[in-house]
Amino acid sequence: MRIIPAIDLLEGKCVRLTQGNYEKKTIYHENPLEMAKIFEDNGLEYLHLVDLEGAKASKVVHYHVLEQICSKTKLKVDFSGGIKSEEDLKKVINSGANQACIGSLAAKNPEIFIEWLQKYGENQIVLSADVKHEKIVVQGWIEKTEWNIYEFLRKFIPHQLKYVICTDVAKDGTLSGPSYELYHQIYKKLPEIHLVASGGIHHEKDLEGLKNLGCEGVIIGKAIYESKISIKNLKNYA
């Protein structure tokens, strides 16, 4: 299982939100590059980098942070937030991102997402499925859609979709445990998906549970910053 620590960017700093609420933010580190180096120094290989301002603005804002981290560490970075045009997608890839995570555009313009999947490949394009009560939410989790999570995933599977990051918004930043039942149902209905779990991670036992469930990866944010899980122990689960 891939262990993927998260850095959420707001005003150039590492922050965490609670349930996607921009008014409920906590600043954990002033320098994202320094935080990324801490992860790398502790033997981790991956990083989930989220441009929160980009998500709200519908365009990528923090290219420079992505470029810094990719040029000054060996971390394999997946980048999320604000990728709404192919120009932005190319900038993210050219800035060094290993994977580009697309959510809002896939929900609103699925045909464009399918084009990107086929053009850039299943290993480079990741579907971000942000869920609230089994419905997809977009635009930094502010806007609800009519997409059911299972219908959403089924739309793209015939078009070479491989990786999905699924975040239960109700769990995100709460340290209340991951959405085991949601992930179980996704695997039951769509076993071909490579699922990365996100939201609610609290204890190391959560990592064991997600690994046993078959998750390909897990994104961990607040549990690291609040010292609920030791960074030094994370590589043991990879």
Active-site residue list: 8, 130
- Token pair 């365009």 is at which residue? 59
How far apart are alpha carbons 233 and 226 in whole angstroms?
15
Q: How far is it, in rounded angstroms, from Cα 65 to Cα 77?
A: 11
Task: Report residue 112 as tokens.
Answer: 């464009």
User: ∠ at Cα 124 (122, 126), nearest 5°?
Assistant: 75
Q: Which residues pair with 32 in a beta bridge?
A: none
Kindly give, in sequence order, each residue whose CB lies less than 8 Å from that of residue 91, ignoring residues fewer than 6 positions away.
60, 63
19: left (phi over 0), alpha (psi -120 to 50) or beta: left
CB 70 within 8 A of CB 96: yes
Most distant CA atoms of the chain, gap in Å:
43
Q: Check if the beta carbon of residue 183 is closer than 8 Å to that of residue 210.
A: yes
Token readout for 39 is 């992860």
Q: What does the DSSP 8-state code read for residue 158?
A: G
Give the residue from 124, 144, 123 showing the smallest Cα distance to 132. 144
